[in-house]
A = this chain, B = another copy of it.
Amino acid sequence: MVEGFEAVRPVAERTPRDEPPRSSADADRGGLTVDQLSETQLIARFAPHLRAHEPGGGSRYEILGPGDDCAVVAAPDGRFVISTDTQVQGQDFQLTWPNGVVSTGFDTGHKCATQNLADVAAMGAVPSSLVVSLTLPGRTSVRWVEDFARGLRAGAIACGAVHCGIVGGDLGRGGEISATATVTGDLEGRAPIRRNGARPGDLVALAGTVGRSAAGLDLLQDPSTKGTVEPHLVELMDNQLRPVSPTPLGAQLAEAGATAMIDVSDGLVRDLTRVAEASDVVVDLDPAALDDLARPLAAAGERLGRDPLYWVLHGGEDHGLLSTVPAGTRLPHGARPLGSVRAVPPGWGATVVVTTGTARESVADRVRVGTTPVRELPAELRGRGWDHFEPEDGV
């Protein structure tokens, strides 16, 4: 570790690589690239931005920050939660989108923070520490790396993870940009909120939002939106580039008695199906609540010729928190009712029920999606959320 960041580095020979085409993260002519600095120098440019908001240097949980082989973090109740997640250039984020928008290092850092912190919140825990490992091609601009660090810090603040220290990390080389963050959290003495605790009679609540990031993604991927300045479309694209998860609501929902929780990363139906299956229940989504979520996406839907309900049902990456709570629970500000939980009827499996169509109240219009076959759901609303490896033409 050099100046606070780990440098556990093998002696492997640097072999020449086939370099991919230039990207927006590459330094402009004359700009400083990471391979012009030593690891020590690069870390000296990177690390200060991670701690910029902490005049005292350190979070409530940080006992020993960067500078040794490990950081030391407090776990006041004798436990901690932990999760890890990676973003890879070209897979999980585009440096330049088909409509010409450029993802900055700031965007990538911000999103890296959000998607990791949401996992801690979904357990009902408070984020306590974050470590990050960043892999960089040698020609990456140093500015991009500094922006990443600022974005990571800003993302944590935007998500309300104000006590979370960024306590260490690792910088290394590779052929493509890749960022892995690991987050830990403090349960503050509460039981962790799992996926398997939803009970018949519970209400389903959503903290944060769904569908906005997916709408933003489709806008970014449509060349016809090039140069758009319409504020509501720009906002949706920003939501894809820099999503914000309301992490304090995770602990608040846990305190309110949440029986199950998950963050929506792969899509509302897909992630809620995981809760239904783990809990062995049926979840009915409330059509009016879905409409409320779809309505602000109407203009984007018209622009792209898409039913906005599709984004609500299947879009991930807003990193809202889906929870189930006992009926009658007073929801914290920022959470809204989204449906209800019932026992699995005879002949059914655990599933999520989406009611749609004109005869919304009719049982006949109910369709099941998830592990049971899709029936009657209009073709334009069928989807399955995100799976990294699922064959395109299968399933």
Q: A84-B133, A91-B14, A192-B70 are in contact. Are A8 and B213 (CB under 8 A)?
A: no
Chain B residues whose CB sits within 8 angstroms of the CB of A265 once the complex forms? 7-10
**Is there contact, CB below 8 Å, between B39 and A389?**
yes
**Is there contact, CB below 8 Å, between B38 and A84?**
no
Partner-binding segment picked from A23-31, A75-83, A224-232, A293-301: A75-83
**Does A281 sit at the interface, judged by CB under 8 A?**
no
Residues 118-160 of chain A: 1 if any B CB is under 8 Å from the residue's CB, otherwise 0? 1110110100010111010010000000000000000000000
**B34, B71, B217: which contacts A12 (Cβ < 8 A)?**
B217
Q: A69-B122, A92-B9 are in contact. Are A35 and B391 (CB under 8 A)?
A: yes
A residues 234-277 near B (Cβ < 8 Å) are 261-263, 265-267, 274
**Is there contact, CB below 8 Å, between B84 and A79?**
no
**Does A182 sit at the interface, judged by CB under 8 A?**
yes
Query: Closest CB of chain B to A355's CB: distance in Å?
Result: 24
**Does A171 sit at the interface, judged by CB under 8 A?**
yes
A residues 71-125 near B (Cβ < 8 Å) are 71-88, 90-94, 111, 115-116, 118-120, 122-123, 125
Q: A17-B90, A85-B170 are in contact. Are A39 and B6 (CB under 8 A)?
A: no
**Is there contact, CB below 8 Å, between B70 and A125?**
yes
Chain B residues whose CB sits within 8 angstroms of the CB of A394 once the complex forms? 38
**Is there contact, CB below 8 Å, between B79 and A168?**
no
**Does A223 sit at the interface, judged by CB under 8 A?**
no
Query: What separation, in Å, do the CA atoms of A41 and B36 have in the docked complex?
Result: 43
Interface residues of A (CB under 8 A from B): 1-2, 6-15, 17-18, 20, 34-42, 63-64, 67-88, 90-94, 111, 115-116, 118-120, 122-123, 125, 129, 131-133, 135, 138, 167-176, 178, 180, 182, 184-185, 187, 192, 194-195, 213-214, 217, 221, 261-263, 265-267, 274, 278, 315-317, 386-392, 394-395
Known: A67-B195, A73-B79. 15 other contacts (CB 8 A): A6-B83, A6-B85, A8-B266, A38-B387, A38-B394, A39-B388, A69-B119, A70-B125, A71-B82, A82-B184, A85-B133, A88-B173, A171-B388, A173-B389, A175-B175
